[in-house]
Structure formats: structure tokens, C-alpha cells
């Protein structure tokens, strides 16, 4: 489904931009001073038609991309929550930044920020281990 969404969004954006470029091209032909009123009307109608097709395609493609990004963030958040709760349970309330980063497949900075937020949320404490790692202690 992700591949289909990406393809649809890319196609919509490409077609939309092509129509918008055609609209600009039609409007630029109005700059010629030798055009008669029929040519001007045709160029104006072409510009309006291309704009009417291009704008909805660009907006639709953008909405598909934003929706996919929102869904991806939600899945990542669920994955981080699940990994966090599993590690806290396995460690009987003790979790290290390195272990969480490794299990969640995120950077150490992201892991530390996530654990800092959870520590504030659950009133957890943290300590430096003998090896130099940061450990968070959550009351279970």
C-alpha cells in the first residue's frame, strides 16, 4: 500500500505541475502584441483549464504525502512505545539508553530524548552506571 500511495502522490504532483507549467506557458503567449482577440481568448481559456486541472492534482498529491508521513510517524510512535514497555518489563524497571536505542533502532540522541520524556511522565530516576551508561529506573 505504501508503494501505491507513493506512486499515486508522485503521479498527481507530476501531472499537476505539468498542467501548471502549461498554464503559465499559455499566459505568457498573451504577452505577444500581434495576437488577435480569438487567440487571446483561446490562450486565456487554456490557462484557466490547465490551472483548474493542475491545482487539484498538486493539492491531492500533497495531501497523500502528508497523510503518509502522518501514518509513518504514528507507526514509529507505536513501535517506540511497545519497545519501551517491553524493555522496562524485562529489565524490571531499569533501562539503559544504549539498549533502548539498539532495540528501537534509533539514534542515541533520539533514545535519550524519548527516555527523558518518559522519565518526566512517570517520575522515574536516572543514574550513571559503572560502565558510564545512563540508566533510567521506572517504578513498576
Global model pTM greater than 0.85: no
Which tens digit of pLDDT belongs to each residue from 38-90?
A: 777 888 888 899 999 999 999 999 999 999 999 999 999 999 999 999 999 99
Match 522515574 to its residue by C-alpha cell: 124
Instruction: Give the integer Cα–Cα distance in Å for 50 and 4.
Output: 26
Q: Is the pLDDT of residue 105 over 60?
A: yes
Whole-number pLDDT of residue 35: 62
Other residues' Cβ atoms within 10 Å of the Cβ of residue 38: 8
Amino acid at each position: 500500500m505504501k508503494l501505491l500511495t507513493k506512486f499515486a502522490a508522485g503521479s498527481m504532483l507530476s501531472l499537476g505541475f505539468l498542467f501548471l507549467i502549461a498554464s503559465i506557458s499559455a499566459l505568457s503567449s498573451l504577452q505577444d502584441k500581434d495576437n488577435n482577440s480569438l487567440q487571446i481568448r483561446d490562450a486565456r481559456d487554456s490557462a484557466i483549464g490547465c490551472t483548474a486541472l493542475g491545482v487539484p492534482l498538486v493539492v491531492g498529491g500533497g495531501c497523500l504525502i502528508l497523510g503518509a508521513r502522518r501514518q509513518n510517524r504514528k507507526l514509529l510512535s507505536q513501535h517506540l512505545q511497545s519497545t519501551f514497555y517491553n524493555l522496562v518489563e524485562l529489565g524490571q524497571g531499569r533501562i539503559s539508553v544504549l539498549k533502548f536505542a539498539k532495540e528501537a533502532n534509533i539514534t542515541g540522541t533520539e533514545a535519550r530524548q524519548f527516555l527523558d520524556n518518559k522519565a518526566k511522565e512517570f517520575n522515574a530516576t536516572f543514574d550513571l552506571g559503572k560502565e558510564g551508561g545512563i540508566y533510567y529506573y521506572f517504578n513498576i
